[in-house]
Amino acid sequence: MTDPERDLELLPPGTPVDLSNCEREPIHVPGSIQPRGVLLAVSEPDLVVSTVSENLADLVGVDPAAALGRRLPDVLGVAAAEAVARSASAFGDLRERNPVEVTLDVGSGPLPVDALLHRAVLGPGEDGAPPASLLVVELEPARGPRPFSFPNTYQAVRGTVGELNRASSLQELYDTTAQAVRQLTGFDRVMVYRYDADYNGEVVAEAKASGLNSFLGLHYPASDIPAQARALYEKNWIRLIADVDYRPARLVPVLLPATGQPLDLTYSTLRSVSPIHVEYLQNMGVRASMSISLLRDEKLWGLIACHHYSGPHAPPYATRAAAEFLGSTLSLRLVDRAEEEEVHRALRVRSTLAWLTAATLDEDRPLTDTLLGSPSLLDLLPADGVVVCLQGHVGSRGVALPEGAAEAIAAWAAARGEDVVATDSLRLHAPDLQASVGPARGVLVVPLPEGQFVLWHRAEAVRTVDWGGDPHNEAIAAREGAGVRLSPRKSFERWRETVRDRSEPWTAQELAEVGELRTHLLEALYARSRRIVRAAETLQRSHLTDPPESACLDVAVRYVPATREAQVGGDWYDVFEQPDGSTVVVIGDVVGHDTAAAADMAQLRGLLRGIAYDSAAGPAAVLTRLDGAIAGLGLGAMATVLVGRLTRDPATGTTRLRWSSAGHPPPLVAGPGPAQPSAVQVLTPPRAELLLGVDPAVARSESEVVLDPGSTLLLYTDGLVERRDRVVDDGVDRLAAELAALRERPIGELCDELLVRLLPEGAEDDVALVAVRLRS
């Protein structure tokens, strides 16, 4: 059994686990559950029991062996089984309808029970069929008020949600959540736990019972919650251990007869936890715990960690649902707050970058002087100093480095073969340079052709970190029989570490912005010196990137430069996915040629991406905002652009295309089926549209069309259809006819053949081409 996300061989079920092998523990298939409830796995639609937990009789009154092979009504009773079947047959995610409230008729009388349902996938379906699965039914004695309802759950936390919405700082968000979850659940201690980039955790808020020592501000190493546990937290957002000292209830049989593998309990609420984690909690004196995931962009950002010390503690399902709702609300507010701060920072950086980009077009002024003027590269990226070496000119601003240090660091960065090289510890990553770098501890370097570079450096940022126990002594060795077993540390006392020889880290946003600056610098270098062919090639690659992989679309892109001169032109394409799953396709053509058009193209492409990404704005609104940005920033650019947004309906398999054009040639759509010229549709806008850069106040129209599976969408620039001896409309008709003839070809082959047939003697003008086929 392997972990596909980490390409790691997992331990076979039943293998003894300690700290030496726990990263390979298959915690999603423990083969047992926590005994606060029972589990049954049944086939559908016949509801025949294939797996049960060995404690089934404790709650249901039926021996596990007797339950296997029987139908669910024979085990739970007709009424309870029918309630489970009704919920399981409804459309949508089973977990969104939990709990199913049932009553079991046991020896002591009617017993109210919460049934929690999910499906466990057994393997891929055959011949396009849905994946095979089992319906997993987990039963817990009902402890909360009945009937359960989500409105009641919301009412329980309504006041807290209001406080979170009014919070003016991140710390207030953390503190409010910790207090509310503790008041709601009754745990002795509730902590908000935040991860850094390496998944080391820090307690940033705490609500606790009086008399408990504080964990606030303590850090915990990433190994305390290994990678496979973090992956589970991203899928199953809440996990309760009601009694740390529980005895696991095995599943019978441990291996499923249909697959020979243990049942996947990723989404189980009763899933048994790793014995290493149990030992870890016991070493902390914890008797019960609950964790709630905090996510950002579907990745684990942190946890709400709840500890109880006075004994077992089992909040009812309604309380857990309310706590999970609070966690989701905090996640959303954290994203909102981060996005607000990022927007303000990004606007400032964008303004500086736009100014620097425009200033580099002044070829009478050395690039080095331009970048070190006012504003300078230190306004773009905070650092203690910056060194620029371009076209034979070397200059610096801020704190100076020793003679030769910048060149040595730049050579080290260039040898790594990356577009942007960053480290917050030269001592760690480039130990041979330590004697010559002066105050620099962290550097960010943009290597450029022919030994040119831009280099920011930051000084040491000494800081102290309070750890919950010594992070360098995470395990203790204990003799166990004839061998030695590595166990989790037993001491969690505050352990202070002073971190030296590191600068403030470079953020992902900073790296992305420097990457964009690099593109603009390559444009400027190309414009100033056509001999730097490698700079031009790198520039072209940076703009004409491969489209993203998609489960629903086959995408091919092509770019053909004009044959009359090797140059970077103003044609471009772009394909990127939105967070909501839709796909944006863009094709554009800047008026003009050579580096001026390339510079305009780069700015328009970057602006359009920034406007369109993660925005609810339609294509027409995107073009309107882009037109306004061209005017507002004084870019002076003019371009034809077409923006489309493809949104797939999973229920019907059809895809909706919303599109808007700013004077661009019309897109073509070839439907599925036999090749017929009439089946190729030329999508014309309702009226003629002005190109961008003419009148930012013009109202732009938007069109929509529904595409069937198997259809092919083709976007192109005018270089494909326009000739000196032929009008554009005739070229579009010719392209439509060729598309009809080639429509059944693989998407990449279709693009290549279209270029061969329409450009037999090469391209008179640059040509960009995007073809999108909707998979059936």
pLDDT in tens, 298-323: 888 889 999 999 999 999 888 888 88
Residue with tokens 């053909």: 560
Cα-Cα-Cα-Cα torsion 146, 150, 153, 159, nearest 10 degrees, comes to: -150
Structure confidence at residue 301 (pLDDT): 86
d(C-alpha 203, C-alpha 224), whole Å: 13
> 496 forms bridges with which residues in the sheet?
466
pLDDT at 524: 79
Angle at 210 between CA 207 and CA 214, to 5 degrees: 55
Helix, coil or strand: residue 70: coil
| Whole-number pLDDT of residue 239 | 93
Torsional sign, CA 29, 30, 36, 40: positive
3-state SS track over 461-506 = CCEEEEEECCCCCCEEEEEECCEEEEEECCCCCEEEEEECCCCCCC
Query: Closest Cα to residue 704, out of 619, 762, 609?
Result: 619
Residues of the chain with pLDDT under 50: 469-470, 472-489, 491-492, 494-496, 531-537, 566
Q: What is the pLDDT, as a whole number, of residue 567? A: 55
Contact 295, 331 (CB under 8 A): yes
**Residue range 138-192, pLDDT digits in tens:** 999 987 666 555 555 666 677 888 888 888 888 888 898 899 899 989 999 999 9
Interhelix angle 533-543/594-612, rounded to 10 degrees, is 30
Distances (CA, A) of 611 to 465, 572, 615: 39, 17, 7
Model pLDDT for residues 189-243, shown as the tens digit of each residue: 999 988 887 788 888 899 999 988 888 888 887 777 778 888 888 888 899 999 9
Q: What is the pLDDT of residue 98?
A: 86
Two tokens at 519?
């593109």
- The Cα 536–Cα 533 span in angstroms is 5
Buried b (16+ CB within 10 A) or exposed e, 83-106: bbbebbeeeeebeeebbbbbbbee
Q: Which residues pair with 767 in a beta bridge?
A: 560
Please give the Cα distance from 489 to 284 (Å, whole number).
9
In which residue are the tokens 């053509």 written? 589
Nearest Cα residue to 475 out of 650, 226, 246? 226
Distance CA 681, CA 671 (A): 8
Phi, psi of 754 (to 5 degrees): -60, -45
Output the DSSP codes for 650-718. TTT--EEEEEEEESPPPPEEE-SSS--GGGEEE---SS--PPBTS-TTPPPP-EEEEE-TT-EEEEE-G
